[in-house]
Structure 1
């Protein structure tokens, strides 16, 4: 009898458990509370609790259920189907939410609707659907950021006419920009693993109040996935395994991550390996883009050989590995301790645009070798956060981060026995204190302080490839130089009315540069660079909803960039026909920006967005002709070269328009489009005006999306406008080898478009497959200012399993 009662009790317990449904966020895996579940006639209704659990016992197995939450897309299923999925339902966040939360503007969570800046957010689901090779491609796939590439292992974003060291990169709140971020194209964004990104937020326009130096054109914040705690006393174990293949460069990528969590601690471990072969260009486009010849070295002898497959860009392939380890300790509801270790390393990868430079007679190639050594990045990051009612704050964040960067450059001219290499290492320390105060009625205050210290190690050597004899050579930067910054900021948000919010802020930053020049190889007319300078920046703007479906924003802000080691102390960096020398007499450059934005929501079916902006840059740090020891030309690398240096020698203004459209026809069909128009001019002290180098051509996209609960498809077009010869920057006009030639024989950037298709199918709740065909018509094109030709027709296949 007792055995029978026990069996009945056991079966009833198991049945009760089998009727429990756990509702989770499809991107983060976190539980979702307050999810409503009901049948078709709404005669039965249940609600998920704090742990995201729904008691489904009131529903029959085959009863059609609807799961609904304000911030997520509607989900339909049956108890029977959910049971086969392991009692779990994953909801997808809605594409458009007026109450979307962002963190980039103040480093604390804010409603996007209250912010006057233009911000875009790219979530993990969108990233997984677009399936980017690198984080540079992630930004480009958004349709709102232009990306330049000099080689396959790279990607240099351009935002509102600015790029490189006038844009700021941030990973989990820690600035990635260091003392040797240069004015030339920067590839550091590829060190960020797209598989680990939970959300990317891009601020358009100056962000110096919060982020300090370099945040002139915009800020790109990458937030990586956090360890997830268990909601009960059981051990939570889950993770992902992914594989991706791309035909255009025979990519093979594997990724795995695992999360282990208890109620008060959790751990996340991630690893990704990429292998990319040489990139193939398209078949329809300018013949001048073809790689007809390349240099091959056999037994130490360089020879120019014909390329049997001119569409293959030899050499462009490389490997990369990314590792991440995170720990979260949460002893109670007030305190969080987050620890993170990040590591990225590439193999050597060729700088393709230098390998296709012709000789002066046009009959050969100048370089036999030109490659970057392994690009390495390590970051150790500790962040302590407290929530609650403190005396002077309601939220406190203490951050301490250490970063180590390594990079090198090696180049050798055709049939020259000497390979020159420069190697750089940067150690960077970041310390932040950020506070939030919400106690003052409708006024919220954010304030904090930041200290940054960078130490630069740089050396050079020459290697004779015939004799293996290695000798010291000039370094790229002054070895042992330092760059440091101390800053304090205050930022306020005042909700004057429920539909009107004002935001304002101030920041003062002081920057020191200390460098000692070694005259072993060159007779410098100076011994040191000792710079101490300060900058005050501010912002003021408002967000206004005159009607519930209409938003108007207006924002004015200033930004600055203090000279860094690359500006002050770059030692003889060779460019075609010129050589760049150090200049210790530099001052910060300042940007003044104004923008107005409008967003209209028509019946939740049509969403129109538009932004117009104008940015004025003064005391611009630009590369211009210079006198070195009284002469304007010197012989460098066996070539008579024009002497140049970075100088505060120009002004610049950039203006443009950014448009967006989203159309939701029904639950399955939607349309979206983006268009960006940028115009930029640099003005010399004598009033001469020339086109700005980093003003991207007009670009945009158009998407047609169809989806149901399991399948999502996207047919889309990407397009770029033309830049005529007269509209090219002077530095670009001399690079005939990367541009097409017009009827006058002058270089220009042709317009182009591609037709593309993406799809993602949920085989089960745990198993997802992606299939894409990019550049369907196999166009041969180069994006503006890029050395490498863009990918041709490209089949992308991916499979991902969540456990």
Structure 2
């Protein structure tokens, strides 16, 4: 009898253990696809809803009640619906990642204070571009990512480029930031810049664009706006085992025979995680549209034949030769969280292009108008590396609730290579910048309804620059003047305080102050030129501030008003540029510069009509004083000098102007039913520069009116977007003086003067979710094959463009 009892206990224990193990084996964890954190209150149910379970606080629940091949639906108010079978879930390691709905991602912003804030409390206009939108638009570069938003205008001098314009400002008057680290460096110039293409769109989790000055948080350069790119973070496991997941993507574009491949994968443990990303792009020569102005055609090209430059006919004038290039982007991120107090983030980023031609310089006619000026004009490889270490501490302290230390090192390399037609000498300048930055940011949210954000920043840039000339026939190489004074340094130290005070539940006041001190040091050598000075030693400072409110007089109506100031301190490009050729002109150094300062006010209103229609409008006015502009200058008493064999007009960067920029921005969303929706944006900007002599002229970076309109249809698996892009005309009188001299990139009006014509394109995008692992996309851009040039761009835009994409998630 005792033996029988013991045997019964053993069998019972075995059965209970088996049931327990089976239950554990069929337990799954539902996680956020972005952060990897568990999601509670996710409902799991079958088709008839006869079986239902809910995830707990740790995102866990059991699948025991479901059959192996039974379809299970996952639903949460903040996430997109998902469906799969229990068999598939168990095969994938009992984990499921859900993607947040775009409207939920849009509720929180990071850019204004560097800490999470509710979007509804922010008085500045902010555009958020989330990972889902990026995947749907499938941009080739991050410049295209911004342009696809419909809220940022992008200029392109060549295929390998993209210079964003925000509210009439561009280049070194707008600021780029990657994962909280400033990308602008000491040689960001007033001319168009291409650094944004170093950011891989496949790695971007979200992009937040601040419209208007952001100098309180970001310091110098943040006059027109700030573009913050936040890359994807490593995800923890939240289980005892190591998890592995990732994505593979391929894309083809017909207009430039693009072939792009991407791979990323995530390794996750309970306390550490790793995210690895690799992308490779091969872009061929870009083909323009068939319907448009003949003056845009590439009729002639330069070929080197039997040791001589010859001008030959382009067999296909719609193909823009040469414009193609290659690019590789790498990213490696690690996250370590030993406890709930400390988090350590390490990010390593690398981007490198091949040589790529500056197309607008290759189509410049010579002085007689019967040929081309340049046989070669190309940028050398554009390289960017960043190492970024962030240490975040959460928890109550006497002075803060959160503190973050961000240290970063960046390396930039670029070069310019040019050779005149039938000239054997190729001139080359090569620059690299070593940039160090340290940011210490605090968040204090325990003073009643008042939140404080404060911190300090130090940045150091060192510029190395060399010049050379190569005889391509004899291969003999000689030194020549560098573009910048070699060894020049630019550094800044700043402190800031930002506050958010919720006066009432429907009224929030934000204000902030920042003081920045800037040091510029450049030594000029007289090896090649006799300069009227030996060094530029500038020490200057700037106090900036902002104050604004967000008010909801009614639940469905928001009113915002914001006043702010911004500044840009002279950098090495402004102070020390040693002879940079422009058509018929040459730019020389100027050691006597001061910061430019901007005063801005903007007003916004947003109205929600029964969650069916949302209308947003904003208007602004910016006044820029002591503007740093390129104007005629005397070098050693001369207004013209010989440079690279050509008599050129002398110019320099000077505090010689004021600027007035104002505009209107309008957006609308309409949700017709659960499948159909409409969205549209329109931006109108006007701007005038006034010289010290009282002469007015249109501002250079004021874009023409641009707008888009989208008709969207989607269900759970399929999404389509039929849309129109439109740009207005800029007449000759509306072109900046510097643009009027570039008649080779513009159309001619009835008087023979250059102008920028209006244009439109019709486009179609679609994305189909084949399964939980496979996604396919098909886009047809500019399907009426228009031939057009966006304002100030050297290269003609793509003609009809078929884009095919395929993605696999594992």
Which of the five TM-score ranges fits, normalised by the shorter chain?
Answer: over 0.9
Query: Is 1:257 the counterpart of 2:259 in the alignment?
Result: no
Q: 1:645 aligned to 641, 648, 652, which one?
A: 652
What's the CA shift string for 1:55-97, capped at 9, x where partnerless?
3445677988664433234456776887788766554433334
Matched, 1:682 2:689: yes
Which residue of the partner structure matches residue 149 of structure 1?
156
Q: Displacement of 1:27 after TM fit?
A: 5.1
1:455 is matched with: 462
Go from structure 1 to structure 2 and tell me whether the alpha carbon gap of 1:719 and 1:5 turns closer, same or farther (over 3 Å shift): farther
Distance 1:62 1:520 in 2: 79
Segments of 5+ residues of structure 2 without an aligned counterpart are: 1-6
* 2:643 aligned to which of 636, 643, 667: 636
Task: Report if the CA contact (8 A) 1:179-1:454 is conserved.
Answer: yes
Q: Which residue of 2 aligns with 1:334?
A: 341
Write the deviation string for residues 126-177 of structure 1: whole angstroms up to 9, x where unpaired. 1111100000000001110000000000000000000000000000100000
- Given the two structures, how large is their TM-score scaled by the length of structure 1? 0.97
Rate the CA distance shift 1:653–1:44 in 2: closer, same or farther, 3 A: same
- After superposition, residues 11-90 of structure 1 pair within 5 angstroms as 12=19, 16=23, 20-26=27-33, 30-37=37-44, 45-58=52-65, 67-75=74-82, 90=97
In the TM superposition, residue 25 of structure 1 has moved relative to its aligned partner by: 3.7
> Relative to structure 1, is the Cα distance of residues 79 and 665 closer, same or farther in structure 2, using a 3 angstrom cutoff?
farther
The structure-2 alpha-carbon separation of the partners of 1:432 and 1:496, relative to structure 1 and needing over 3 Å to count, comes to same
What residue in structure 2 maps to residue 419 of structure 1?
A: 426
2:627 matched to 1:620? yes
2:293 aligned residue: 286
- Aligned twin of 1:548: 555
Aligned-partner Cα distance in 2 for 1:768–1:90: 16
Deviation at 1:709, TM superposition (A): 1.2
Does structure 2 conserve the Cα–Cα contact (< 8 Å) formed by 1:85 and 1:765?
Answer: no
In structure 1, C-alpha distance between the alignment counterparts of 2:573 and 2:390, rounded to whole Å = 30
Q: Tell me how far apart the structure 2 counterparts of residues 643 and 183 of structure 1 sit (CA, whole Å).
A: 17
Question: Could you tell me how far 1:9 is from its partner in structure 2?
Answer: 6.4
* Structure 2 CA distance for aligned equivalents of residues 552 and 70 of structure 1: 27
Q: Deviations over 1:239-265 (max 9, x none)?
A: 111111111111111111111111111
Q: Secondary structure at the match of 1:673?
A: strand
Query: Once the 2 structures are TM-superposed, how far is the Cα of residue 392 of structure 1 from its aligned partner?
Result: 1.1
- After superposition, residues 184-195 of structure 1 pair within 5 angstroms as 184-195=191-202
* Aligned mates of 2:71, 2:610 — CA distance in 1: 28
Choose from 352, 357, 360 the match for 1:353.
360
Match 1:774 to one of 781, 790, 794: 781
1:300 and 1:465 in contact (8 A); partners too = no
* Residue aligned with 1:506, SS: strand
For residue 572 of structure 1, report the CA deviation from its aligned partner.
Answer: 0.8
Instruction: Answer whether contact 2:29 2:59 (CA < 8 A) is retained.
Output: yes
CA distance in structure 1 between the partners assigned to 2:88 and 2:671 by the alignment: 28
Give the equivalent residue in structure 2 for 1:702. Answer: 709
2-side partners of 1:59 and 1:500: how far apart?
49
Give, in angstroms, the shift of residue 120 of structure 1.
0.9
Does the 8 Å CA contact 1:393/1:438 hold for their aligned counterparts? yes
Counterpart residue number, 2:598:
591
Q: State the Cα distance separating 1:41 from its structure 2 match.
A: 8.6
CA contact (8 A) 2:335 2:346 kept: yes
CA offsets, 1:395-449, max 9 Å, x none?
0101110001100000000000100000001000001100011110100000000
Distance change (3 Å), C-alpha of 1:479 and 1:559: same
SS in 1 for 2:147: helix
Q: What's the counterpart of residue 3 of structure 2?
A: none
Query: How many Å apart are 1:476 and its aligned residue?
Result: 0.3
Contact 2:154–2:163 at 8 Å: present in 1 too?
yes
Paired residue secondary structure (1:360): coil
Contact 2:106 2:128 in 1 (8 A): no
Alpha-carbon distance in structure 1 between the residues aligned to 2:464 and 2:245: 42
Distance across 1 between alignment mates of 2:782 and 2:105: 34
CA-atom RMSD in angstroms = 2.1
- Indicate the residue corresponding to 1:658 in structure 2: 665
Preserved contact between residue 68 and residue 75 of structure 1 (Cα < 8 Å): yes
User: Among 726, 748, 753, which residue is 1:746 paired with?
Assistant: 753
Instruction: Pick from 109, 112, 116 the counterpart of residue 109 of structure 1.
Output: 116
1:123-134 → structure 2 map (5 Å cutoff): 123-134=130-141
Q: Which deviates the most, 766-775 or 425-434?
A: 766-775
Secondary structure of 1:791's match?
coil
The aligned counterpart of 1:237 is 244
2:438 is equivalent to residue 431 of structure 1: yes
Structure 2 residue matching 1:309: 3-state secondary structure: coil
> Deviation per CA, 1:24-43, whole angstroms, max 9, x where unpaired?
44555554222234578977
Instruction: Report what 1:213 is aligned to.
Output: 220
Distance 1:584 1:746, change over 3 A: same
Quote the Cα distance in structure 2 between the aligned partners of 1:197 and 1:173: 13
TM-score by length of 2: 0.96
Does the Cα contact within 8 Å between 2:35 and 2:234 map onto a contact in 1? no
1:483 deviates by: 0.3
Tell me the alpha carbon deviations over residues 624-683 of structure 1, each in whole angstroms, 9 at most, x when there is no partner.
011111121122222221111000000001101111111111211111101111111101
**How many Å apart are 1:51 and its aligned residue?**
3.4
Q: For residues 444-491 of structure 1, what are the alpha-carbon distances to aligned partners after superposition, in whole Å with 9 as ceiling and x for unaligned?
A: 000000000000000100101111110010000000100000000000
SS in 1 for 2:291: coil
SS of structure 2 residue aligned to 1:153 = coil
2:526 to 519, 530, 536: 519
Instruction: Name the CA distance, whole Å, in 2 between partners of 1:289 and 1:48.
Output: 60
CA contact (8 A) 1:633 1:643 kept: yes
- The residue matched to 2:103 in structure 1 has which SS? coil
1:139-178 aligned at under 5 Å gives the runs 139-178=146-185
Judging changes above 3 Å, is the alpha-carbon distance between structure 1 residues 99 and 226 closer, same or farther for their aligned structure 2 residues? closer
Tell me, which stretches of 5 or more residues in structure 1 are unaligned?
none
